[in-house]
Structure 1
Amino acid sequence: RLSLAGVGKGDRIAFFFALGIYATTMTLWGLRLLGALPIDIDARAGTDLFTRFIGLTRPTYMACTPSLAEYLVRKTPELLGHEVRDFKYKGVLTTGEVGIAIPEIKKRLESAYGCRFYDYWAPCGNAPAISCDAEGYYGMHAVAPDVCTSFDDLVDPVTKQPVDADVDGAVGEMVQTNLQREACPVVKYAYGDIVQLFLKECPGCGFKGRRIKVIGRSDDMLIIKGVNVYPGPIKDVINQFIPDVTGEMRIVLEHPPPRVVPPLRLKIEYGKGMANADLPDLAEKIATELHNKIKVRPVIEFVEPGSLPKETRKTPIFEKKYES
């Protein structure tokens, strides 16, 4: 799978995730089988140590969450005195979050790093897939559909009723049944990933198999006035307003999900150089676009750039007021 991103014998991959009994750790064995050397550092060690190891080992690829890749764009000049593009990566491999599926994020990261970004996944060894080497984002390609039923088995995340997986653009929760695993096979097991399925030929590379775009997770789903809402499409809309916003946001929850008493509340970082007098008009534009796209009109609170911290692991999308 990662060989399709160009990873091969002699490559060194800076691998920056939470290590241990986590799904991402399984990738290390695949990298070694390709003849590549993973430089695996637990994300809990912090970015200071990670960037120093990059400087010492000169990796050719980096693997991390999209939010960490964004964080390193700002942090690397502070720690090492140069830009991330000076690492001269052949490519960056991202997983764990809805990231480069958002066009503005993909464009911004590839511009900053000077290389292609790839989305990859294989939740607990199932449904291995990777995005292609294209300017646009056309989903993750099912490169081994014979190992499980995942690309043919979707259910409604609320009712758990089957969703027709032979319809292009179908959205549902992916369900896994192993077809080849000899140890601990899973049968009709859902990890909670909500995907959109594409059946037509990839316009970026010509791949003729099935492709998916991760919409979110079932445990991230919100129900607002009977409408199922996921953070991914909200973030997608907000990123359309860069540079008036930084792209960082939080969904503020007063009560445990999934049900949200309207209005939905958002915290959004405004962009550098934005005047306070312009923020009400910007809030109205964002709220109107969200209403047009996902039928939700939120209340927006703007905060200063850099005030919503990024994490070295998955950056949280929710601010859970009910826990404080």
Structure 2
Amino acid sequence: IDPRDLGLELGLFGGEPGLENPAYRQRIENTWGMKAQNANYGVSDVLCNFAAVCRENYQLHFLGTGALLFQLIDPETGEDLPIEEGTVGEMVLTHLDKEAQPLVRYRTSDVLEILGVGPCSCGRTGLRFRVVGRADDMVHVKGINVFPNGIARVLESMVPEVTGEFQIVLDHPPPYAHLNITVESGAQKGAGDQDDLKKRIAMKLKEELNFKAVINLVPPGSIKRTEMGKAIRVVRTYSC
């Protein structure tokens, strides 16, 4: 069965960061012949769903006004950051109307970028944002904050040469001058082809994310998945 023959027009997804990746989203749309939208962003400890994209643009609208106080902080210093376009920080949430066990200044570990605070063309007037990554997955490389989500976006744009699966392997404590990244190749390649692919991956990461990477290619399916089918993105092989 060709998925496009099912006649689906709209897919509403949530719970995973993949929809924030334009290349991954495009793969879904091309495969199923439907519009794919992130319709369910939330934090399980706070509120299951308080943000979604609209049809006018692919930006998450904050829908929790009145129920949640939305704040951003520097994930390292804890300093409050202004809610204005371009600000990047860790989201902090406070319950405003919950009577039993409300959370106050709850650090979510989600790092967001504010995309807009004025009216959207869809008519909504609240702030809009995108998820940059997890604060606990962030790695500093010579002053650059590197998030697995950013690496995923780069690798997804190179499918089918790679599967899109990867791991950052940290073999010593910080600081880091470069990152060792294990990447699943999309198909068996000769030594010359592998060397070329490794160079192109490293170059693309440098161009788009501004850090140096040392790439180790492995066959498809080599990176261990969890029971839920997810790969662990950051692996520390050294003793703390």
TM tier, smaller: 0.7 to 0.9
- 1:112 match: 31
Determine the C-alpha separation between the residues in 2 that align with 1:275 and 1:263: 26
Mapped pair 1:245 → 2:162? yes
3-state SS in 2 of match to 1:281: helix
Cα deviation code 1:204-237 (max 9, x no counterpart): x454321121111111111222322211112112
2: CA distance, partners of 1:88 / 1:128: 29
Residues 196 and 266 of structure 1: is their aligned pair in 2 closer, same or farther, counting only changes over 3 Å?
same
The match for 2:103 among 172, 186, 193 is 186
The answer to whether the 8 A contact 2:165-2:231 is kept is no
Percent identity for Structure 1 against Structure 2: 33
2:52 to 126, 130, 135: 130
8 A Cα contact 1:116 1:133, kept in partner: no
Report the residue type matching 1:196 in the other structure: E
Paired AA for residue 109 in structure 1? I
Shift of 1:85: 5.7
Alignment of 1:54-93 (within 5 A): 91-93=11-13
Compute the RMSD of aligned alpha carbons: 2.6
> The residue matched to 1:112 in structure 2 has which SS?
helix
Structure 1 residue 292 displacement after superposition: 2.5
1:302 aligns with 2:217: yes
1:195–1:216 Cα contact (<8 Å) kept: yes
> For 1:272, what is the secondary structure of its paired residue?
coil
Residue 139 and residue 314 in structure 1: after superposition, are their counterparts in 2 closer, same or farther (change >3 A)? farther
Identify the residue that residue 52 of structure 1 maps to in structure 2.
none
* In 1, Cα distance between equivalents of 2:4 and 2:223: 24
| 2:141 paired with 1:224 | yes
Deviations 1:237-276 (A, max 9, x none): 22222222221111112146xx353320011122237544
* Higher relative strand content: 2
For residues 134-283 of structure 1, what are the structure 2 equivalents within 5 Å?
138-150=58-70, 153-165=71-83, 167-199=84-116, 200-202=118-120, 205=122, 207-255=124-172, 259-272=174-187, 274-283=189-198
Pairwise CA distance, 1:88: 6.5
Aligned to 2:14: 94
**Amino acid paired to 2:64:** A
Distance 1:84 1:304, change over 3 A: farther
Structure number having the greater helix percentage: 1
Which structure 1 segments of 5+ residues have no match?
Answer: 1-81
Q: TM-score, normalised by structure 2?
A: 0.84
SS in 2 for 1:128: strand
Q: Which amino acid aligns with 1:147?
A: A
Q: Secondary structure at the match of 2:17?
A: coil
Where in structure 2 are there 5+ consecutive unaligned residues?
none
- Which amino acid is 2:20 matched to? A
CA contact (8 A) 1:98 1:215 kept: no
